[in-house]
Chain A
Amino acid sequence: MSRTFILAFGIFLTIASSITGLVIIPNWQFQALKPVVKLDGTRYPEVYFGDQARGREIYIDQGCIYCHTQQVRMKGYGADIRRGWGTRRSVPRDYLMDRPHQLGTQRMGPDLASIGARQPSVDWHAIHLYNPQLTSPGSIMPRFEYFFREVRSGEAAPADAIKVPQQSNGVTHIVPTDRGRALIAYLKRLNQSFPLPEANQ
């Protein structure tokens, strides 16, 4: 009986120590982190609101994380910065508003930590999401055509319609649905170019 107790207690201690050491203590360390106030009075990072927040939920529900990371490794470790995926390494403060985190561990597609800075164009994102082959031939990204309403030749294109560069099946324009617009707003918001001081240490 007493040996059983030692066994069970020892087993419990191993896991209790690792969650304390790896999760609880770092979490204390991060408690002191606050957003920085920029010169124009806005804050970095800002909370996700409206379309950005809804777009983030869509990013999560579509499982973008299984192919895309949102973390730039430091200079000299990998080629993240030289590939143009960011101007500096990512730091804990960049993720203050991220619940849940979407750091990712797989790069079947490029890193998206600063995709909003790399691709600021709504049209580019819309066409890329609608059919990745149109912007990135050879891409293995799935099509997200269900985020768009297709306008075929002969139909009147609404004012917010985006022209498709290559027509196929008579589709000349696409109009993002509410979800498509939200996802694009979220992608455009992803931007870690603000020079946080700790990123240069």
Chain B
Amino acid sequence: MIAQPIPPVVIPEVEARIEVDGSSRPVIVLYWGTSLIWLTIASIAGLISSIKLHSPEFLGGMEWLTFGRIRAVHWDTAIYGFGGLAASGTLLWLQARLCQVRLPYRNLLLVGGVVFNIGLVLGTAGVLMGQSTGVETLEFPLWAMPLLVVPYVFIVIANFTMYFKKVTKHTYVSQWYLMAVTVWFPILVLSAEACTNLGAVDGVAQAIANWWYGHNVVGLFATPTGIAAAYYLIPKVIGKPIHSYHLSLLGFWSNAIFYNWAGTHHLTGGPLPAWTITLGVVGSLMMFIPVITIGINHHMTMLGSFHLLKTSPTLRFAVMGSMIYTLSSFQGSLEALRSHQEVTHFTHYTIGHVHFGMYGFFAPLMFAMMYYGMPRLMDQEWSSARLIRIHFWCTVVGMLIYVTAMCYAGIRQGLMMNDPSIPFLNIVRFTIPYLALRTLGGLILLTGTIAFLINFVRIITPHKYTWKTPTMLDTERDWKKLVELEKQSENGGTK
């Protein structure tokens, strides 16, 4: 069971892959590692915001920690810190592997990763000090944005370079999505900043630009990366091809065309021309097409291989992600309907939905990528199966508590708000137990993240001993055993 790292097997194709992985190691480890630190920071910020809502006196009196600031920090660090870095690491690693070329511009990408992190720190500090721009999802002060945008340009260049140098003749489905992300994300950020914070458009057109961006940063950045990961991991782990090539084609283009237009449903009932909202509702409903086709492709590929969920950590997170992609997208499309929005628009329901998508779909797929990629990058196995199990179950249970509490409370809250005979403060009082339940859910999610972080730190530090075979979920592997062995060998060495 326990042995020193096995020497690489000499098969030309595998050797080439080892070389490709080796070339990308420092960059990917930097991106994924720091993404987990930002996930922890985002979770703590989220937890503080959550506690403040049922106990407003918690950490009161400190202006920099007031709800409106820490709440903005929560979302920005989650989407740019965790999302941005985890997705960029995934993008670079997958593209290098699928093109079978060494990762280009490694030093540039390393510097970019460091600069991106500095940008995140400064942006967060800016918001905490009260320099938020006031545009949701683009709160970071303008002066911090170049530090996020320039490194991303490096990633775009590296991505295209790999794509044009690729050795493989075939283009994989995942590569379409990765290509799409690199085209979309810079355009999204630059045009949204231009329209809102730089004032290219006025008044309520800013609000549309804001929500065009706010919805698309999830839909055209997080979602395609998540789908690319699922398209790569599910067939790879179970060793079967994707169910239907043609469906994946339909899924990709319908997703690309319709998701773009969905953002204005965030402004239903607002002071805007009705046709802009209608476009958003239509776009959201048309999303059934890509969601169903992508769903069929992922779930039909899995059919007959569900027993592997017992053992493979990668597959478990990937399948969780792809299943919740289907569910949360159905929820989202229905939510866009005007009759639905009349009740749930300004309530906790929306927050529940966001977390269902981000923590039920996107985050598990990024975790799956890391569970699959890290042993290959580091030439070491995950040291503890127990910590992986803790991470998985905390993610599932914490997310379900969070989402159920918020969605249920949101519907009740919305129905009560539409009944003017119920005083507003009674509605606030009604939501408090559910807000407390959310804190519990958030606490469980944070526990899972910390378990993952411990495992991650163990896998990136060089060890004398490692497991010889991949760490499966149904084993009792624990890193303490490895530590004991190391100590024994140290004592033995002195004898």
Cβ A19 vs Cβ B212 within 8 A: yes
Main secondary structure of the interface of A (DSSP, over half): loop
Instruction: Please give, as numbers and ranges, the residues of chain B lying within 8 Å of A61 by CB-CB distance.
Output: 69, 130-132, 134
Contact partner, A96, options B67, B164, B203, B263, Cβ 8 Å: B203
Docked pose: A140 CA to B424 CA in angstroms: 12
Report B35-64 residues with CB < 8 Å from chain A CB: 52-54, 56-57, 60-61, 63
Given the known inter-chain contacts A23-B205, A30-B203, please indicate yes or no for A107 contacting B347, CB distance below 8 A: yes
Type the 1/0 row for A71-109, where 1 means its CB is closer than 8 Å to any CB of B. Answer: 101100111001110000111101110111111011110
Report B167-199 residues with CB < 8 Å from chain A CB: 171, 176, 179-180, 183-184, 187-188, 191, 195-197, 199
Q: Does A42 contact B (CB under 8 A)?
A: no
Report B124-173 residues with CB < 8 Å from chain A CB: 130-136, 163-164, 171
Shortest beta-carbon distance from A62 to chain B in Å = 5
Instruction: Please give, as numbers and ranges, the residues of chain A lying within 8 Å of B329 by CB-CB distance.
Output: none
Using CB atoms, name the residue of chain A closest to B133.
Answer: A100
Cβ A105 vs Cβ B136 within 8 A: yes
Cβ A83 vs Cβ B199 within 8 A: no
Report B340-375 residues with CB < 8 Å from chain A CB: 342, 345-347, 350-351
Q: Does B287 contact A (CB under 8 A)?
A: no
Contact partner, A14, options B69, B136, B260, B428, Cβ 8 Å: B260
Report A133-161 residues with CB < 8 Å from chain B CB: 136-146
How many residues from B make CB contacts under 8 Å with A? 83
Cβ A15 vs Cβ B204 within 8 A: no
Docked pose: A144 CA to B256 CA in angstroms: 45
Report A8-39 residues with CB < 8 Å from chain B CB: 8, 10-12, 14-19, 21-24, 26-27, 29-31, 33
Instruction: Please give, as numbers and ranges, the residues of chain B lying within 8 Å of A4 by CB-CB distance.
Output: 163-164, 179
Shortest beta-carbon distance from A102 to chain B in Å = 7
Given the known inter-chain contacts A92-B203, A107-B347, A142-B56, please indicate yes or no for A23 contacting B130, CB distance below 8 A: no
Interface segment among B7-15, B25-33, B268-276, B294-302: the answer is: B268-276
Cβ B53 vs Cβ A108 within 8 A: yes
Instruction: Please give, as numbers and ranges, the residues of chain A lying within 8 Å of B420 by CB-CB distance.
Output: 79, 82-84
Q: Does B418 contact A (CB under 8 A)?
A: yes
Shortest beta-carbon distance from A41 to chain B in Å = 23
Shortest beta-carbon distance from A18 to chain B in Å = 3
Instruction: Please give, as numbers and ranges, the residues of chain B lying within 8 Å of A12 by CB-CB distance.
Output: 183, 187
Cβ B432 vs Cβ A15 within 8 A: no
Cβ B203 vs Cβ A66 within 8 A: no
Q: Does A47 contact B (CB under 8 A)?
A: no
Contact partner, A146, options B63, B132, B216, Cβ 8 Å: B63
Docked pose: A83 CA to B56 CA in angstroms: 25
Contact partner, A11, options B132, B179, B212, Cβ 8 Å: B179
Q: Does B247 contact A (CB under 8 A)?
A: no
Shortest beta-carbon distance from A46 to chain B in Å = 14
Q: Does A170 contact B (CB under 8 A)?
A: no
Docked pose: A164 CA to B254 CA in angstroms: 60
Instruction: Please give, as numbers and ranges, the residues of chain B lying within 8 Å of A74 by CB-CB distance.
Output: 269
Using CB atoms, name the residue of chain A closest to B136.
Answer: A65
Docked pose: A184 CA to B59 CA in angstroms: 24
Count class of interface residues, chain A:
35 or more
Q: Does B417 contact A (CB under 8 A)?
A: yes
Cβ A11 vs Cβ B183 within 8 A: yes
Q: Does B425 contact A (CB under 8 A)?
A: yes
Instruction: Please give, as numbers and ranges, the residues of chain A lying within 8 Å of B132 by CB-CB distance.
Output: 60-61, 63
Contact partner, B208, options A26, A98, A100, A137, Cβ 8 Å: A26
Given the known inter-chain contacts A22-B212, A105-B266, please indicate yes or no for A140 contacting B56, CB distance below 8 A: yes
Instruction: Please give, as numbers and ranges, the residues of chain B lying within 8 Å of A7 by CB-CB distance.
Output: 176, 179
Instruction: Please give, as numbers and ranges, the residues of chain B lying within 8 Å of A146 by CB-CB distance.
Output: 61, 63
Shortest beta-carbon distance from B272 to chain A in Å = 7
Instruction: Please give, as numbers and ranges, the residues of chain A lying within 8 Å of B338 by CB-CB distance.
Output: 77
Cβ A101 vs Cβ B279 within 8 A: no
Shortest beta-carbon distance from A32 to chain B in Å = 12
Instruction: Please give, as numbers and ranges, the residues of chain B lying within 8 Å of A90 by CB-CB distance.
Output: 270-271
Cβ A96 vs Cβ B202 within 8 A: yes
Shortest beta-carbon distance from B135 to chain A in Å = 5
Shortest beta-carbon distance from B250 to chain A in Å = 14
Given the known inter-chain contacts A14-B256, A102-B134, A110-B424, please indicate yes or no for A22 contacting B267, CB distance below 8 A: no
Docked pose: A65 CA to B43 CA in angstroms: 21
Cβ B179 vs Cβ A77 within 8 A: no
Cβ A66 vs Cβ B67 within 8 A: yes
Docked pose: A35 CA to B78 CA in angstroms: 40
Docked pose: A1 CA to B165 CA in angstroms: 11
Cβ A99 vs Cβ B424 within 8 A: no
Shortest beta-carbon distance from B410 to chain A in Å = 10
Instruction: Please give, as numbers and ranges, the residues of chain A lying within 8 Å of B350 by CB-CB distance.
Output: 105-106
Report B243-283 residues with CB < 8 Å from chain A CB: 253, 256-257, 260-261, 263-264, 266-267, 269-273, 276, 279-280
Instruction: Please give, as numbers and ranges, the residues of chain A lying within 8 Å of B205 by CB-CB distance.
Output: 23, 26-27, 30
Contact partner, A22, options B134, B196, B261, Cβ 8 Å: B261
Shortest beta-carbon distance from B22 to chain A in Å = 27
Type the 1/0 row for A51-65, where 1 means its CB is closer than 8 Å to any CB of B. Answer: 000000000111111
Docked pose: A105 CA to B270 CA in angstroms: 10
Shortest beta-carbon distance from B176 to chain A in Å = 6
Cβ A8 vs Cβ B183 within 8 A: yes
Q: Does B71 contact A (CB under 8 A)?
A: yes
Contact partner, A101, options B210, B220, B264, Cβ 8 Å: B210
Q: Does B437 contact A (CB under 8 A)?
A: no
Inter-chain pairs besides A11-B180, A19-B209, A92-B273, 8 sampled, C-beta below 8 Å = A15-B188, A15-B260, A26-B273, A27-B202, A73-B270, A95-B271, A100-B135, A102-B134
Shortest 7 CB-CB contacts between residues of A and residues of B: A63-B68, A60-B134, A18-B260, A107-B346, A61-B130, A27-B205, A73-B269
Interface residues of A (CB under 8 A from B): 1, 3-4, 7-8, 10-12, 14-19, 21-24, 26-27, 29-31, 33, 60-67, 69, 71, 73-74, 77-79, 82-84, 89-92, 94-96, 98-103, 105-108, 110, 132, 136-146
Sample (11) of A-B pairs whose CB atoms are under 8 Å apart: A22-B209, A29-B273, A30-B202, A61-B130, A96-B202, A99-B202, A100-B134, A105-B266, A105-B346, A105-B350, A143-B60
